[in-house]
Structure 1
Amino acid sequence: MIDLHLHSTASDGTYTPEELVMLAAKLKLRAIAITDHDNVDGIEPAIKEGNRLGVEVIPAIELSSDLDGQDIHILGYCIDYEHIWFKKHLKDLREARYERALKMVERLQKIGLDILLKDVLKYTRDGTAVGRVHLAKAMLEKGYIDNIQEAFNKYIGKKGPCYIKKSIYTPEEVIKIIKKVKGIPVLAHPGVSKVDEFIPNFVKAGLQGLEAYHSRHNSAQTRKYKKMANKFGLIVTGGSDCHGLSRELLIGSINVPDSIVDDLKKLKA
C-alpha cells in the first residue's frame, strides 16, 4: 500500500514529516507523499527519514485554486521542490495566508472571541503555511468550541461570520505553476470538489491525473473517477488526506494500490 496525500506540521497537519514517515514504516507502506499546502519544507526531512527507514517519499504539494467561488485543490507530484522561483512563489502565498489569518482573528475579536494572532501562531513553525485549522486549535484551547469541526461550522467555514476568502489562482494557473517546476498536476478529491463538467478544460490546460482513491470518496465515486481518468488518458492517484490528530482521517486508512507509484515514475520520465 501507499498514501500519496499527507499533511505535516509544515502546513496544517499535526505530525512532523519525520513522524509521518515513521508511521508509514510501521504500517509497511511502500511510499508516501507529503502534500502540504503552499509549502515544501517538509519534503527534505521526510526524504531523509524515508531513506533511513526504507520508505520512498515522493516530492509533492497541494495548491488551492478558485473557480467561480468554488475551492479547487490541485496536487503536484514529482515536483522540483528546490526550484528557486517556486520557493519564492510559495513564500508569497504563505505571506498571503498570514494576512488572511490576521483578518480572520480580527473578525473573531469583533464577535467577542478573545483570540490573538499569537494564540494561532503557537501552533505553527517557522515557514508554516498558516491555515484555518490553526485558528480552530486556538479556539479549542480557549474553550470556545468543543472540537475542530465546530470552529468551521460556526465561525470560519465558508458560510461563517469570520471567513475570509483566499487570494488564489484559477485551476489552469495552478496547473501551469506545477508544470513549470516539472511536476505532475492531479485534481484532488474530485468527488468533493464536484467540478466534473470542467475536467475536460483542466485536461486541456495540462492536468495529468485524478485522485480517485480518497477517504471521502465512496466505492462508486472511486470507480467513476478511474473510468473518467481512463477516458481522458489520465493517471489515477490516491491518499488518505491525513491531517493527523486534528481530524479522524489517519495515514494508510484507505487501500491505494502501489502500482500508482510506477505510473507516476513512467509519466515523469
Structure 2
Amino acid sequence: MRIDLHTHSRASDGTDTPAELVRAASGAGLDVVAITDHDTATGWAEAEETAREVGIELVRGMEVSTRHQGAGVHMLAYLPDPTHPGLEQALAKILAGRNSRVPAMLERLRTHGIAIQAQDVRRVSPGTAATGRPHVADALVELGVVSDRTEAFRQWLNPGRPAYVDRYAASLLDVMAVVAQAGGVSVIAHPWGRHGPDQPDEAEIAALAQAGLAGLEVDHQDHGADDRCRLRAIARNLGLVVTGSSDYHGTGKRDHDLGVNTTAPEEYARLLELAAAAAQRSGRATPQVLRP
C-alpha cells in the first residue's frame, strides 16, 4: 500500500486543481492520498468527488501556519471538523494575514523597478483561498523576471531578501488545541526542514507530545538520511506516529513528486486510530476517510 499524506492543490499554492491532484495521485500508483492545502478546506469537496470517480482513498486535512518559540512551524491537521467555530476563526485570521502581506510585497518589488500589480498575481492564482509568496513568485515568472519559483524565492521573497514581508501565524499550541477540539489530530510537517537539525529538539518535541501532538513527518525531501534516522528515533522514544510524504505542489515545487516518500501502512493505521479517538472525544461530526 502506497500512502502519501501531504499534498497541495490550487486551493492554496499548488498548481493542480483538487480534481487534477487526485487524478495525478491515482496515476502515480498511490492507494491513499491526503489533501492538505495551507490553512483551508476549500478543496475538499472537489477532491472527494474525484476520489470517488477514480477509486482512491482520500484523507482530508490541511497544513496550518503556526509559530512556536519564535519560529515558524507548519502543522498538518488531519480529519478535523472544518465547521468548528474555533478552527474557522483561527484559519480566517491566518488567511487574512496571508492576503494582507501581498500588497506590501508588490510595493517592495516596484521600488526595485519591477512593474508588478495585484492583477498579475490574481491571474496566476485562480481558485486559491488566499494569495501568498508562491503566487507572487508565479507572477514574477510570468512577467519574465525570474525563471521559476525557486529563483523568485532565492532572489526576492525569502527572509532577508528585498521583497520579503512577515505575516501573522497562530500559536502552535493554540492550533493544536483547537484542532483537537474539532476532532482532528496534529502532525508536525518537515520538522527539521525549515530551521535545520534539532530545531525543535527532542525536549521541545516531547513537550509538544505531552500537549497532544500525534506525529512527526519524518520522510520528507527536506530531510537528509541522518535527520530522518534521528527523527525516527525521537518519534519511537515518544510514541509518536511517523509519516512520510511528498509535499507535492504540482509544477510549483521541484523534486517533490507524488509518492516520492510514503507512510508505512501500520503508521497510517495508528494515525487513523488517534483521529477516531479525537473525533469521539470532541463529540463533533468529523470527516471520515473516504474509501473506494
Fold similarity call, TM over 0.5? yes
- Confirm or deny: 8 A CA contact 2:94 2:170 kept in the other structure: no
Distance between the aligned counterparts of 1:206 and 1:264, measured in 2?
13
Unmatched runs of 5 consecutive residues or more in structure 2: 277-292
The corresponding residue for 1:72 is 73
CA deviation string 1:197-235 (max 9, x = no partner): 421222232211111111222233222222111211211
Q: What is the Cα deviation at residue 180 of structure 1?
A: 2.1
The corresponding residue for 1:150 is 151
- Confirm or deny: 8 A CA contact 1:47 1:56 kept in the other structure: no
Against the structure 1 CA distance between its residues 174 and 83, is the aligned structure 2 distance closer, same or farther, given a 3 Å change threshold?
Answer: closer
The corresponding residue for 1:110 is 111
Which amino acid is 1:134 matched to? H
Distance between the aligned counterparts of 2:6 and 2:86, measured in 1?
24
- Confirm or deny: 8 A CA contact 2:90 2:175 kept in the other structure: no
The corresponding residue for 1:256 is 263
* 1:232 and 2:238 aligned: yes
* 1:59 and 2:64 aligned: no
Q: Which region of structure 1 is more displaced relative to structure 2, 82-91 or 124-133? A: 82-91
Distance between the aligned counterparts of 1:189 and 1:167, measured in 2?
20
Against the structure 1 CA distance between its residues 49 and 208, is the aligned structure 2 distance closer, same or farther, given a 3 Å change threshold?
Answer: same
Which amino acid is 1:80 matched to? D
Identity rate, percent: 33
Q: What is the Cα deviation at residue 168 of structure 1?
A: 1.1
Q: What is the Cα deviation at residue 88 of structure 1?
A: 4.4
Q: What is the Cα deviation at residue 84 of structure 1?
A: 4.7
Distance between the aligned counterparts of 1:82 and 1:161, measured in 2?
38
Which amino acid is 1:176 matched to? A
- Confirm or deny: 8 A CA contact 1:64 1:168 kept in the other structure: yes
The corresponding residue for 1:215 is 221
Unmatched runs of 5 consecutive residues or more in structure 1: none
Q: What is the Cα deviation at residue 68 of structure 1?
A: 4.5
The corresponding residue for 1:195 is 200
Against the structure 1 CA distance between its residues 241 and 260, is the aligned structure 2 distance closer, same or farther, given a 3 Å change threshold?
Answer: same
1:35-184 matches, cutoff 5 A: 35-126=36-127, 128-184=129-185
Distance between the aligned counterparts of 2:181 and 2:32, measured in 1?
24
Distance between the aligned counterparts of 1:83 and 1:200, measured in 2?
27
Distance between the aligned counterparts of 2:161 and 2:178, measured in 1?
31
CA deviation string 1:35-93 (max 9, x = no partner): 11111111121122112211111111101122344221111112213435433442332
TM-score w.r.t. the length of structure 1 is: 0.94
Point out 4+ residue stretches in structure 1 off by more than 3 angstroms: 82-85
- Secondary structure of the residue that 1:165 maps to in structure 2? coil
- Confirm or deny: 8 A CA contact 2:38 2:62 kept in the other structure: yes
- Secondary structure of the residue that 1:162 maps to in structure 2? coil
Distance between the aligned counterparts of 2:174 and 2:87, measured in 1?
14
Q: Which region of structure 1 is more displaced relative to structure 2, 200-209 or 251-260? A: 251-260
Figure out how many residues of one structure are paired with residues of the other and give that number: 269
- Secondary structure of the residue that 2:193 maps to in structure 1? helix
Q: What is the Cα deviation at residue 98 of structure 1?
A: 1.0
TM-score w.r.t. the length of structure 2 is: 0.87
Distance between the aligned counterparts of 2:263 and 2:239, measured in 1?
19
